[in-house]
């Protein structure tokens, strides 16, 4: 009699316990998926630049946020500011994770093989065919004119073409250097070369080139090729330089992910592209652009078609 009563009860209890166990079992994180790892960790490690105003610059004296998930060798969001930084923070927020920042060398970024030391670059990197060999590019988040700057007192040059054969500064490994060498190839973006056979003076970053230009008299350089916002910001901060003529080309700037990551990184590029498109649609990127540049550099980037690049599904 006792067994006849308890057997159904035991069966019911077994079903309940099994159901509860199944319900409480966490969903396993895919071991080879970068996006899944980021979501599980709660942080995204973003490569940027600490000396590239107004795109990104470190905030002097800023202390790490309390209760941050960022590692000790990573900076927290409040320790950087700029267009790239605000864009990156908003992307991280929409992804549902905390933004953490690191500052590797530019040459490390464009070559890929990051060894999973950071997850993504959000640092005004232009899409080029050469870089696509090592990196996945997202939908561009903004687009800027590449322009020539000269000393404000210069009366010798009236158009960028006048810098042909002259000493022109540019950041080493940047699209600007490739342009001056006549070998810049940007997908969906034909280039017309108007500065020919320039003597290239290479710099690690743009600002020292502009500072050398500000000395005047062509001592170091006769002109500098850089992003128009960077040159205009230098003028705003007091450097005696000026914009020369029309832009020589336009560059489309996107987030980039390492193809050679130890984890599958394509899914991250796809998800960030979705978020950037959302930010284009709801005006978030226009708002950030106006905050730092007083110009809408975002809208044109929303019209760039990444499908012909053949990287994203």
How does DSSP assign 79-108, residue by residue? GEESHHHHHHHHHHHHHTSEEEEE---HHH
Q: Single out the residue in 251, 270, 286 at which a domain terminates.
A: 251
Mean pLDDT of 180-203: 94
The answer, as to whether pTM is greater than 0.85, is no
Q: How far apart are CA 91 and CA 89, in angstroms?
A: 5
Assigned token pair, 111: 């070559």
Identify the CATH number of the domain in which residue 286 sits: 3.40.190.10
pLDDT, tens only, 251-283: 999 999 999 999 999 999 999 999 999 999 999
Q: Where do we find the tokens 């990104």?
A: 56
Predicted confidence at residue 78, as pLDDT, reads 98
Same domain, 153 and 220: yes
Predicted confidence at residue 299, as pLDDT, reads 98
Q: How far apart are CA 227 and CA 144, in angstroms?
A: 6
Mean pLDDT of 153-176: 95
Beta-bridge partner residues of 264: 33
Q: Where do we find the tokens 């990197």?
A: 125
Q: Where in the sequence is the domain holding 200, given as residue range(s)?
A: 144-251
Same domain, 133 and 270: yes
Which one has a higher pLDDT value, 219 or 215?
215
Q: How far apart are CA 35 and CA 263, in angstroms?
A: 9
> 3-class DSSP state for residue 76?
strand
Same domain, 258 and 117: yes
What pLDDT band is residue 30 in, cutting at 50, 70 and 90? low
* Residue 106 C-beta-side C-alpha neighbours within 13 Å: 17
What pLDDT band is residue 33 in, cutting at 50, 70 and 90? very high
Same domain, 56 and 204: no
Same domain, 202 and 298: no
Of 253, 248, 206, give the one whose Cα is nearest residue 231. 206
Assigned token pair, 119: 């997850």
Same domain, 148 and 201: yes
Predicted confidence at residue 15, as pLDDT, reads 39
Question: In the predicted model, is pLDDT for residue 25 greater than 70?
Answer: no
What pLDDT band is residue 10 in, cutting at 50, 70 and 90? very low
Predicted confidence at residue 14, as pLDDT, reads 43
Same domain, 117 and 149: no
Q: Considering its fold, how many domains does the chain have in total?
A: 2
In percent, the amount of the chain with pLDDT more than 70 equals 90
Mean confidence (pLDDT) of the chain: 91
Assigned token pair, 67: 């209760």
Question: In the predicted model, is pLDDT for residue 13 greater than 90?
Answer: no
Same domain, 192 and 226: yes
Same domain, 117 and 176: no
Of 276, 253, 289, give the one whose Cα is nearest residue 86. 289
Cβ burial of 68 (10 Å; 0-12, 13-18, 19+) is middle
Mean pLDDT of 113-119: 97
Beta-bridge partner residues of 143: 252
């Amino acid at each position: 009699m006792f067994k006849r009563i308890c057997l159904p009860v035991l069966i019911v209890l077994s079903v309940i316990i099994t159901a509860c166990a199944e319900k409480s079992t966490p969903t396993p994180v895919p071991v080879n998926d970068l996006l899944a790892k980021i979501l599980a960790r709660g942080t995204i490690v973003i490569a940027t630049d600490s000396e590239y105003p107004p795109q990104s610059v470190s905030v002097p004296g800023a202390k790490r946020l309390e209760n941050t998930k960022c590692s000790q060798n990573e900076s927290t969001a409040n320790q950087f500011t700029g267009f790239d930084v605000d864009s990156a923070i908003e992307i991280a927020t929409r992804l549902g994770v905390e933004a953490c920042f690191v500052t590797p060398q530019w040459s490390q970024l464009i070559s890929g093989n990051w060894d999973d030391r950071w997850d993504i670059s959000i640092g005004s990197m232009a899409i080029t065919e050469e870089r696509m060999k090592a990196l996945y590019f997202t939908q561009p988040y903004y687009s800027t004119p590449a322009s020539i700057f000269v000393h404000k007192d210069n009366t010798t040059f009236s158009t960028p073409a006048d810098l042909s054969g002259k000493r022109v500064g540019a950041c080493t490994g940047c699209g600007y250097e490739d342009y001056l060498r006549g070998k810049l190839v940007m997908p969906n973006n034909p280039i017309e070369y108007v500065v020919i056979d320039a003597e290239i003076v290479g710099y690690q970053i743009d600002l020292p080139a502009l500072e050398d230009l500000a000395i005047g008299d062509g001592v170091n350089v006769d002109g500098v090729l850089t992003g128009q916002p960077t040159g205009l910001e230098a003028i705003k901060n007091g450097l005696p330089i000026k914009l020369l003529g029309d832009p020589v080309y336009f560059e489309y700037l996107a987030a980039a992910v390492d193809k050679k990551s130890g984890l599958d990184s394509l899914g991250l590029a796809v998800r960030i592209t979705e978020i950037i498109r959302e930010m284009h649609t709801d005006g978030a990127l226009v708002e950030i652009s106006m905050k730092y540049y007083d110009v809408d550099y975002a809208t044109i980037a929303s019209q760039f078609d990444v499908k012909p690049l053949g990287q994203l599904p």
